Every structure is written in C-alpha cells, then in structure tokens.
C-alpha cells in the first residue's frame, strides 16, 4: 500500500499540524510550542503538546503521539488510507491515481456501493408480501412511514439466497458479499448464504453518508438472538461507530442522548429528539465515548430501567467521564425504556425527564441505597462506606463537600463523620497510586510490561541503544548514510529487537529520513507514538552528535557499553528519587 513521500509531504504542508489540531483542541502558546487538554483522555491540567518545529504532537499523560496524519487517525477513528483521504479532501488535494494503495481505495469504495445497493434491496423488500410480519411489528411499535424513510429501514426475506442472488445479478461476487458480512459461508458445504434472514433491517450510516453496515432485529420476541449486527469489515468497526450519529451530530443540541438500541433511538428521534444515538450490539467503548466528546460536552444516559440497563449505565459512566464528558442518567418510572415512556406519557414529559436527569453521583448513590436496608445499622455502615468511596473519586473539593452533605442527609449521619472517612480513603488511594507509579518506573526501566517493544525485557541496553540511534537519525537524517557506509556499517541485522529493526528498515526505504506520515500503513498509532517519542526525547538533550551516535552503535554491536547506561535498577531508583523531590 505505497504512497509516495512527495504526496505525503505536500499533504502535510497543506495541513499544518497546529491548524488542524486547533479545530479539535483549544491550544495555547507555551514558548515555541502549543499546549491544550488531550482529546484522547480526560485531564484537568494540559499535558497535550504540539511541536511546531517537528510538526508532531505528544500527550505526556496518555502517551499518544505522532504527526497530523496520526492525529486524524485517532481523532476520526480512521485507518491510514482513510486519514489521507480525509486530509486530501480538506485541503483540495487529489489522491494519487497510481500505486498499490489505489486498490485499497477502490475496494473501500466498492464496499460502500455494495452496502448501499443492499440497503436499497432491503428497503424494497419491506413493501413486499414476504414482509407482512415486519410491517405488523412496525405498526405495533407505532413507527410511521416517515420513520422508515428517515432511517432507511428494510426487511431481509427469510430465504438463504434472496439477497445473494440479487447482488450477484448486480455484479457482486460471493466472496465480496462475505467480506462485507452480507453473506456467510458454510464450513460443512462450502456454500454461501444470506447472513440476515427474516429480520427488520437498520442501515448504519457514517458521518460521510456511507452505508457501512447493518443491524437486523427479529420480528418477534421469541427468535434468538433478537439482534444480529454486521461484524467488523474494512469499512466498519463496531467499537468506532454509533447508530444515528449522522443525525445527532448536526442536531445543534446541548447534549447527546445515549440509548441502548435502534428502536429506542428511532422512537426518541421521531418524537422530536434528533440528538439520540446508540451503540451497535456491544457495550459502550472508550472510542465511542471519545467520538461523542467531539460533538458535545454532556451525555444523558437513557438505558432501560431494568437491572441490566442500570448496570450498563454504571459501566458507561467512567468511560464517558474519561472522555471529558459531563454525565447524567434518566430515571424512568412506569416504563422500561424511552420508547415505552414516550408512548405512555408523550414527548413533552420525556423532555421534562431529560431536563431533570440525575447527575452521576445521585444515580450511583441511589444504586447503593437500593442494595442496602439503611434501617439496619450494619447495612447502613456498608452503604456509608460505599458512598464515601464514590465521593473520594471526585476531583473537586467543592463537589466533594456538596455530595458529603447530600449523603449525610440521605443516611441521617453527621457530614463531619463522612468527610473524615472520605479523606481517609483519598489518602489511602494516594499512597497506593504513589506505590504503583514507583513500580511502573522500575517495570518500564527494565522493559517489563512494554506492549510496543516486547523484546526489551532481556535486551534493555540494546533496546536503549537502538532508540538513541533511531532518535538521532530522525533528528539528523544526513547521518544515516554515514552509519550505513562507514568502516563498521550499521545494518538491520544489528538490531536486537524486531521493533527497532522494522523502524530501521523503514528508514532504508526513505533514505534515512523517517517521515512519521509514511509509517501509518506499516505501524499502529501506538507504535507511531513510540517512534515520535524517540525523536522527542533526543530533541530535549543537548548532545546528539556523531560521538553519541557511534557510541550507541558500538554498544549495540556489543563492542562497548554506553557510558551512562549503568544498572537498570539503579537508574530506576534515581528516577524515583527525583520524582519524590518533585512532589516535595
């Protein structure tokens, strides 16, 4: 999947990193760099930095890093080629018409067209005699023709080859249909068959208007599973999409309503709330939470009122908060879900319910009180302990004071007693976190737990030497040919870790200059963050000359040790001591 380096350079020239990132993050000048709150994790103090001189970014909190292409891959949840297309369209640049990448673009485009054709077929079938049960189900749920049209709903005939035959006639091959998850293939007979059969169909549409997948619901409550969803394909990742986001993102509301499923979203939408979305057959993911954070600052969770729905809401809260979102939860009485509530009480009552939604603390506190009989002294103690633990997680001291007073009132206890317990829990957690940080420093220094370069364990000195070599070459690409053609030339075989070797081989293809933007096809965004970090760490040091480079090469070749390598544990302890001094 080759893209010319010249094209990538032009793309990045037209999309300066601080200009692009400024549309996602509020950046402020900090010397020669710019800083802001990281869009990839929740933080109160800015640790996200854009380096204008290297056209890169790094978050010193979560470790994300890379160039403008990597940023778009993360921010828009796109693969490498899609990120290039995104930036090319943004800057009026034509994607190159030759090269291996072209087949990938054509393949994605064809899959979008195939899904759109399937959606047309399903919609047409909804009005055929075979869909009588589906139409009866829609009537029962009081979904009008307007709802069907708005969401492009359809029906998959209860036939093993109906869609397949139709798509074959349109020129789509069985293997293409299988890759798009429109067909399956029997392991026993080798025959292809329609994946969706006898189900109401909901097309899933991305922010660019492409049909990327489908959800299928049984037309009765006896058929299991009730829902079937497209699995991950080249154009669709369940964990990175939300149903009806194409409507919700343009609704101009102050919040998004997070529902459990398709039918709830449609009912809420038709009732006059176009800002509703749902996950796609999975629990909420951190990627989905970050997607919502791009369009709003607040999410109201509107899950089913049963035990499973409330448990799911409890799991969703920390993910949404981590993405920097304000969270509240609906409390529905006399209805199991938003659809039933709206049908029983009307849209205006639902709006009032939204406006009076409970904050996170009230929801979690009520969940605790439901479990315990606080008339029983032992149960009251347990409830108080759980609520104090909840309050201890809150960052703001003002918020903690407010919630302590609320909890004291609910439990008929003195606020002073609860405040004392909250502070005790906070001190204990701080000690635990401090210990965990120290353990992490020792672990990282020794290479344990390194998910990017797993071979660092047992090759610590070699891996350090590799990172020094690669970091210096990225800063001074003119040194690359020198080290390759010197008296003792450096080769890919000299590298002890596979990760280091892969980077060096990428450098060879680019004549020594690693343009981060060229690595997206071969390296993951996490790996690119690590490569960016190598460059950044060397840039912070005063000495990056040929002496340091050749000493590191010699160390890697086992000819001598790097002068300052030392003992790994001793190094770790020095770092820990410096951290302690900083804290003091």
CATH number at residue 358: 3.40.1360.10
Question: DSSP letters of 317-364?
Answer: HHHHHHTT-EEEE---SS-SSHHHHHHHH-HHHHHHHHHTPEEHHHHH
Answer with the one of 347, 365, 383 that is the final residue of a domain.
Answer: 365
Within a domain: 327: yes
- What pLDDT was estimated at residue 574? 53
CATH number at residue 28: 3.90.580.10
- What pLDDT was estimated at residue 109? 87
Clarify whether residues 352 and 383 are in a common domain.
no
Clarify whether residues 358 and 376 are in a common domain.
no
pLDDT greater than 60 at residue 561: no
- Which of 561, 581, 525, 557 lies closest to 75 in space, CA to CA? 525
**Percent of the chain at pLDDT exceeding 90:** 58
Sheet with 358-359: strands ordered across: 276-278, 256-259, 298-302, 326-329, 358-359
Clarify whether residues 521 and 576 are in a common domain.
yes
The more confidently predicted of residues 281 and 82 is 82
What confidence tier does 201 reach under pLDDT thresholds 50, 70, 90? very high
Answer with the one of 346, 365, 384 that is the final residue of a domain.
Answer: 365
- What pLDDT was estimated at residue 511? 76
Q: Is 541 helix (H, G, I), strand (E, B) or coil?
A: coil
User: Domain count of the chain?
Assistant: 5
- What pLDDT was estimated at residue 580? 52
Q: Between vectors from CA 111 to CA 108 and to CA 116, what angle results, nearest 5°?
A: 130
pLDDT greater than 60 at residue 563: no
- What pLDDT was estimated at residue 578? 57
Extract the tokens encoding 164: 């397949």
Tell me if 194 sits within 8 A of 160, measured CB to CB.
yes
Clarify whether residues 538 and 515 are in a common domain.
yes
What confidence tier does 560 reach under pLDDT thresholds 50, 70, 90? very low
Q: Average per-residue pLDDT in the chain?
A: 88
Clarify whether residues 213 and 292 are in a common domain.
no
- What pLDDT was estimated at residue 59? 95
Clarify whether residues 321 and 412 are in a common domain.
no
Question: In this predicted model, what pLDDT tens digit does every residue of 447-457 receive, in sequence order?
Answer: 556 788 888 87
CATH number at residue 471: 1.10.860
**Neighbouring residues of 170: CB distance < 8 A, sequence distance ≥ 6:** 117
- Which of 132-136, 237-241, 267-271, 407-411 bottoms out in mean pLDDT, i.e. has the lowest? 237-241
pLDDT greater than 50 at residue 292: yes
CA-CA distance, 504 to 488, in Å (whole number)? Answer: 16
What confidence tier does 123 reach under pLDDT thresholds 50, 70, 90? very high
Within a domain: 13: yes
What confidence tier does 442 reach under pLDDT thresholds 50, 70, 90? low
Pairing of the two strands 227-229 and 211-218? antiparallel
| N- to C-terminal Cα separation, the chain | 52
CA-CA distance, 503 to 520, in Å (whole number)? Answer: 12
Within a domain: 315: yes
- What pLDDT was estimated at residue 441? 58
pLDDT greater than 80 at residue 216: yes
Clarify whether residues 75 and 172 are in a common domain.
no
Clarify whether residues 323 and 206 are in a common domain.
no
Domain containing residue 295: 254-262+274-365
Residue 184, beta-bridge partner list: 193
- What pLDDT was estimated at residue 4? 84
What confidence tier does 6 reach under pLDDT thresholds 50, 70, 90? confident
Answer with the one of 350, 365, 380 that is the final residue of a domain.
Answer: 365
Clarify whether residues 286 and 307 are in a common domain.
yes
**Percent of the chain at pLDDT exceeding 70:** 92
Clarify whether residues 416 and 386 are in a common domain.
yes
CATH number at residue 174: 3.90.980.10
Question: In this predicted model, what pLDDT tens digit does every residue of 24-76 receive, in sequence order?
Answer: 999 999 988 999 999 888 788 899 999 988 899 999 988 999 999 999 999 88
Question: In this predicted model, what pLDDT tens digit does every residue of 461-480 receive, in sequence order?
Answer: 889 999 999 999 988 888 89
Within a domain: 246: no
Extract the tokens encoding 11: 């793309």
- What pLDDT was estimated at residue 503? 94
Within a domain: 101: no
- Which of 494, 454, 451, 476 lies closest to 538 in space, CA to CA? 476
What confidence tier does 234 reach under pLDDT thresholds 50, 70, 90? confident
Within a domain: 81: yes
- What pLDDT was estimated at residue 583? 45
Within a domain: 553: yes
Clarify whether residues 314 and 413 are in a common domain.
no
Clarify whether residues 569 and 465 are in a common domain.
yes
Which segment, 152-161, 490-499, 521-530, is predicted with the most confidence on average?
152-161
Within a domain: 241: no
């Amino acid at each position: 999947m080759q893209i010319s380096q010249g094209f990538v350079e032009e793309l990045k020239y037209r999309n300066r990193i601080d200009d692009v990132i400024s549309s996602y993050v509020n950046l402020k000048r900090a010397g020669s760099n710019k800083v802001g709150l990281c869009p990839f994790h929740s933080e109160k103090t800015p640790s996200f930095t854009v380096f204008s001189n290297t056209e890169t970014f790094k978050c010193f909190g979560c470790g994300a890093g890379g160039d403008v292409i990597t940023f778009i891959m993360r921010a828009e949840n796109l693969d490498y080629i899609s990120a290039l297309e995104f930036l090319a369209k943004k800057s009026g640049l034509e994607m190159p018409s030759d090269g291996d990448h072209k087949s990938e673009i054509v393949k994605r485009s064809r899959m979008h067209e195939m899904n759109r054709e399937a959606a047309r077929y399903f919609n047409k079938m909804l009005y055929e005699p075979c869909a009588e049960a589906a139409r009866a189900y829609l009537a029962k749920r009081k979904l009008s023709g307007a709802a069907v049209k708005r969401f492009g709903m359809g029906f998959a005939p209860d036939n093993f080859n109906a869609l397949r035959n139709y798509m074959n006639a349109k020129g789509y091959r069985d293997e293409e249909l299988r890759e798009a998850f429109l067909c399956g293939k029997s392991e026993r007979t080798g025959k292809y068959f329609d994946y969706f059969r006898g189900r109401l169909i909901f097309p899933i549409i991305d922010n660019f208007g492409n049909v990327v997948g489908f959800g299928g619901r049984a037309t009765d409550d006896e058929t299991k599973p009730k829902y079937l969803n497209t699995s991950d394909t080249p154009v669709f990742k369940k964990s990175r999409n939300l149903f009806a986001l194409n409507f919700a993102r343009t609704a101009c509301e102050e919040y998004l309503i997070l529902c459990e499923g398709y039918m709830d979203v449609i009912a809420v939408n038709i009732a006059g709330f176009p800002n509703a979305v749902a996950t796609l057959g999975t629990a909420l993911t951190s990627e989905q939470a970050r997607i919502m954070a791009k369009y709003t600052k607040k999410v109201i969770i509107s899950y089913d009122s049963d035990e499973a729905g409330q448990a799911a809401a409890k799991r969703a809260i920390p993910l949404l908060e981590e993405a920097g979102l304000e969270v509240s939860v609906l409390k529905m009485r006399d209805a199991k879900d938003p659809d039933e509530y709206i049908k029983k009480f009307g849209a205006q009552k639902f709006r009032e319910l939204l406006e009076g939604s409970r904050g996170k603390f009230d929801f979690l506190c009520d969940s605790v009180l439901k479990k315990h009989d606080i008339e029983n002294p032992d149960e009251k103690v347990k409830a108080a302990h759980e609520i104090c633990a909840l309050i201890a997680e809150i960052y703001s001291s003002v918020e903690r004071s407010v919630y302590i007073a609320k909890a004291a009132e609910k439990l008929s206890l003195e606020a002073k007693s609860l405040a004392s317990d909250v502070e005790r829990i906070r001190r204990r957690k701080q000690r635990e976190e401090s210990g965990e940080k120290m353990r992490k420093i020792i672990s990282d220094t020794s290479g344990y737990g390194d998910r990017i370069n797993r071979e660092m364990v047992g090759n610590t000195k070699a891996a350090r030497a590799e990172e020094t070599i690669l970091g210096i070459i990225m800063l001074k690409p003119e040194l690359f040919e020198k080290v390759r053609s010197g008296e003792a030339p450096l080769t890919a075989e000299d590298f002890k870790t596979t990760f280091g070797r892969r980077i060096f081989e990428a450098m060879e293809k680019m004549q020594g200059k690693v343009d981060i933007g060229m690595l997206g096809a071969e390296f993951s965004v996490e790996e690119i963050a690590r490569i960016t970090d190598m460059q950044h760490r060397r840039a912070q040091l005063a000495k990056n000359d040929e002496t340091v480079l050749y000493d590191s090469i010699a160390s890697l070749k086992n000819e001598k040790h790097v002068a300052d390598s030392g003992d790994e544990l001793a190094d770790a302890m020095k770092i820990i001591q410096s951290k302690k001094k900083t804290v003091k």
